[in-house]
Structure 1
């Protein structure tokens, strides 16, 4: 039977966890007001939710554990409504709430409508560990407290509770609280306080985005999948018979027999031979086959039956650079193919607001390298790709054409992180369809660094061996790889700015009324919005994104945000139907 109200014994504490009294509250009683006042007066509280399942749309919160030094109060939420805790979770002032993987708890608190505070009141021991150790994966709580017994994690939380379950729930709030002090001290010593502030301020927005989910039209997606299947089948029929065109070994042998001396059949290798009719057809077949295998009809399984939307798992720190990642499914890798993107379509009366930072990695690199010519171009609002083409080709700006600009894009983005001449040649071909001889690639590379000498100095200043590199905000990473020494400060600073923008979206959500974030893709944010007022909400979105990045970058370089209003994810402009 469920234990009665009162003190519950707790045995077998993990190392480093001090003894405490566990107070179990099964229902609202006469002393509830005083107890809440006591909790609200604490400077720091450990917090944890136990729930009947993992999905906030179909599961219920069961236990709320709130820990302070020497005592933990465990509330049974079947008898104490979560609304009772609205003052604790909704005010800007109140205890710092310390927990592990707090996104999970926030999903349920947001679903119940009781979370309204900013992330400034949060400390997530999982995120903090990732920042302190520059890790791309959030550790489990047991990784940080190895003696913690997690066997009851998958027990039945929907029926009568045992004293062991109450003790388990209490420890999930106590252990993060015991880790907090040391983490905070280390963050201060390592100069990571600003980074952790941004991570925690962004946390409610990430949970908000995951809870609201992404609109998805399975019929449009399946139509695109069927079209890709038909295309793949037709192209396979046009390829020579008797070869398994999905086998790299057989493909390589056949192409060599056709007189093509290839080292392998990777896409970037084949791209150099795309003028050969067979190679061109093979590349088109592979592209269609990949669309079928990666973005086929199976995607419908990701739809949540309770909401009719996709709720991917957003990993707030999903890479060692600090960038976010997305799983189940990975929406960040959906190709820009309009046939696929139009399937991400909100219901009638809604639109998607899409905004992205313009050339943000080039701007950040220019700021880090103090490349004067680039910085001046950005300050004067010049087209950097046209300027690069003019400088490396020796042409007046007004004579720079579309093809010149494509070449300049390959140079700007390809040489930013230290590509050699051969790497540039491959990148220009695969990313921009620009064909260069080895000699041309070498000559253009040299001309690029003559045009932007501070970039060259920045590249050459990287020390040998393993070093610590930092973003402008202070996020750290240790690496011995040359390209990572260059791209981590740039991409990581971009990630810091995007998360600051997410934090500001949450903190200024009153400006957005019924608009909310659905996607965050590296330098792009997408919000779902009512049609009415969409232009005003787009203005608010772009202004907050600009502010967020400026708070990270300072005034070293101007930040530009480009935005638009669409019927779907960037494929169909809204104005066409307005």
Structure 2
């Protein structure tokens, strides 16, 4: 295997001349550790085109980094799990690609269960890839010939994998989208699969998102932690004083206390144990002991979340979560270490913009309802959205048979529960619980049953859609379909069959919006850092003086993306400029 091992700037300059005409590069890096990317050092950057492979040693040639800073951002990159390479190169050197094609993401989109480079090579090339050297000492003063060959081999492997995976992705295309065929991803790599185009462009954004991190108000957070700890201890002591020794965080002890001491009749779990989760206790929430158990548990959840955040704060006051680009079958992302997608609303304010910066918080308004109404072609909903009416008031009016101006706040809350629950086909009992827990509205089971009937009478297309899903499941045991952008899914339960196309289209839409916004912000020269993404929400950090312009650009990008996917229903984004993360 031929490659050039580069340890001086002159050789690097001469070698990259050979790559000047390449439309894209195959690229990989080796770092001294995989533990903490903010402290790791990049040892090797290996890249090449269809003929040449360069292995650049940044320990032997620190000046080579300056040449790479100029050259690599001019090219698109092909890699495996490129998010890792981009995160490191962007964080340490400010290097990012024009756009990306990731063989890991390609493998996920093709429905493979194993997606490591080793597994992908075995499946598509029929070769065994030896990864032993991956764990070798990349911080050594001199690298061995085995280490260098291992690094160069990754470029060679990418060279072989890329055309195969590209062909497989294009073969899966069922609906071409003209607006996506003009993108850099489509033109540079020859990709025409709409979901693959959006996902590949997103890889670059994911790498930068992880490198950016999110600033936390450390003092406020630590202060909250102390206060919550005291409040938890005090509450537990008071509970024990009043009711005797009960460990509130032991389901078994809580079950014994509630059934034997209080004589409550509670449902059973699938394993036959007494169910003591908040939903099961909802019926008895008016009893002081039950209300206190639920309250203390909530306190504990918030306390645990704050502790998790405190444990991940770096010296610079930022947390650096890991995001999984395709974290669910719907295409939704997930986050971990820490999970910044499930921060309770009243805790969000502890995330802030650093000095001289502002946060822009933008979210799609009622996006799941908008998508659902177009997906099933529910005319009354589509018409209400087209007229810019309040969909929850419209639903309350139709279902309750009242004039819109007569609808109360509580009735609007009830309509919210119906809209967001019944489009997914939840049962009357499910609606009763969802209305209580999600929206603070009390319903009897009989009232709930009546509301379900009235809702589907008002919006018959949802009833017909749910009926057809159940029939397909009975006949075939599964439902196969696509989101509005063409993401394929297979659902084996009714709940999934109703969820996947709506939440999947939402995921496609968010990613498309991020791709469009990032490209536009780049073109306009704005100093934007995307710091968090939550299902229908984009959070950015920008210089104070650019905040209003960037907020407008973000709103326009999100609405433009929405109107590319939804043809009948207008999409609206709500944007707020703030010092802290809040809506």
Mark yes or no: TM-score above 0.5: yes
Q: Give the superposition deviation at 1:34.
A: 4.8
| Structure 1 segments (4+ residues) deviating >6 Å | none
- The corresponding residue for 1:304 is 314
Aligned residues of 1:134 and 1:320 also touching (Cα < 8 A) = no
- The corresponding residue for 2:78 is 98
SS at match of 1:418: coil
Deviations 1:386-442 (A, max 9, x none): 011111111110100001001001100011111111111121122112221111111
- The corresponding residue for 1:62 is 43
- The corresponding residue for 1:186 is 168
Task: From 282, 289, 293, give the equivalent of 1:282.
Answer: 293
- The corresponding residue for 1:563 is 575
Task: From 123, 139, 144, give the equivalent of 2:115.
Answer: 139
Q: For this pair of structures, how many residues does the alignment match?
A: 539
Considering Cα pairs closer than 8 Å and 6+ residues apart, tell me whether 1 or 2 has the greater RCO.
Answer: 1
Task: From 18, 35, 50, give the equivalent of 2:15.
Answer: 35
TM-score under structure 2 normalisation? 0.88
Deviations 1:318-348 (A, max 9, x none): 11110111111101011112xx222212223
SS at match of 1:564: strand
Q: Where do 1:25-424 residues align within 5 Å?
A: 25-29=6-10, 32-54=12-34, 55-69=36-50, 71-78=52-59, 79=61, 81-86=64-69, 88-91=71-74, 94=75, 96-113=76-93, 115-119=95-99, 122-133=100-111, 139-146=115-122, 147-158=128-139, 159-191=141-173, 193-239=193-239, 240-257=243-260, 258-263=262-267, 264-296=275-307, 298-305=308-315, 307-337=316-346, 340-424=347-431
Aligned residues of 1:99 and 1:177 also touching (Cα < 8 A) = no
C-alpha separation between the residues in 2 aligned to 1:88 and 1:478? 43
Q: Give the superposition deviation at 1:512.
A: 6.4
Does 2:469 align with 1:473? Answer: no
Q: Give the superposition deviation at 1:262.
A: 0.9
- The corresponding residue for 2:552 is 539
Q: Give the superposition deviation at 1:301.
A: 2.6
Deviations 1:498-545 (A, max 9, x none): 111111232122446223211101101111123323222211111112
C-alpha separation between the residues in 2 aligned to 1:319 and 1:123? 20
Q: Where do 1:479-490 residues align within 5 Å?
A: 479-490=491-502
Change (3 A) 1:245 1:431: same
Unaligned runs of 5+ in 2: 123-127, 175-192, 268-274
Aligned residues of 1:515 and 1:529 also touching (Cα < 8 A) = yes
Aligned residues of 2:396 and 2:414 also touching (Cα < 8 A) = yes
C-alpha separation between the residues in 2 aligned to 1:224 and 1:46? 47
C-alpha separation between the residues in 1 aligned to 2:255 and 2:303? 23
C-alpha separation between the residues in 1 aligned to 2:73 and 2:96? 4
Task: From 430, 437, 448, give the equivalent of 2:455.
Answer: 448
Q: Give the superposition deviation at 1:173.
A: 1.9
TM-score under structure 1 normalisation? 0.89
SS at match of 1:478: strand
SS at match of 1:41: coil
Change (3 A) 1:245 1:109: closer
Deviations 1:254-288 (A, max 9, x none): 21231321122111111222122221111101101
Aligned residues of 1:100 and 1:141 also touching (Cα < 8 A) = yes
SS at match of 2:577: strand
Aligned residues of 1:82 and 1:112 also touching (Cα < 8 A) = no
SS at match of 1:178: helix
Does 2:491 align with 1:515? Answer: no
Aligned residues of 1:505 and 1:541 also touching (Cα < 8 A) = yes
Q: Give the superposition deviation at 1:351.
A: 2.1
Deviations 1:106-149 (A, max 9, x none): 12332355635432xx21011111111176xx832122235211
SS at match of 1:533: helix
Unaligned runs of 5+ in 1: 1-19, 572-578
Q: Give the superposition deviation at 1:361.
A: 0.5
Q: Give the superposition deviation at 1:201.
A: 1.3
Q: Give the superposition deviation at 1:312.
A: 0.8
Q: Give the superposition deviation at 1:100.
A: 0.3
Aligned residues of 1:272 and 1:426 also touching (Cα < 8 A) = no
Which stretch has the larger CA shift, 70-79 or 440-449? 70-79
Aligned residues of 1:203 and 1:503 also touching (Cα < 8 A) = no
C-alpha separation between the residues in 2 aligned to 1:231 and 1:469? 49
Deviations 1:69-99 (A, max 9, x none): 46532222332613323454323xx5x5221
SS at match of 1:529: strand
Aligned residues of 1:303 and 1:309 also touching (Cα < 8 A) = yes
SS at match of 2:341: helix
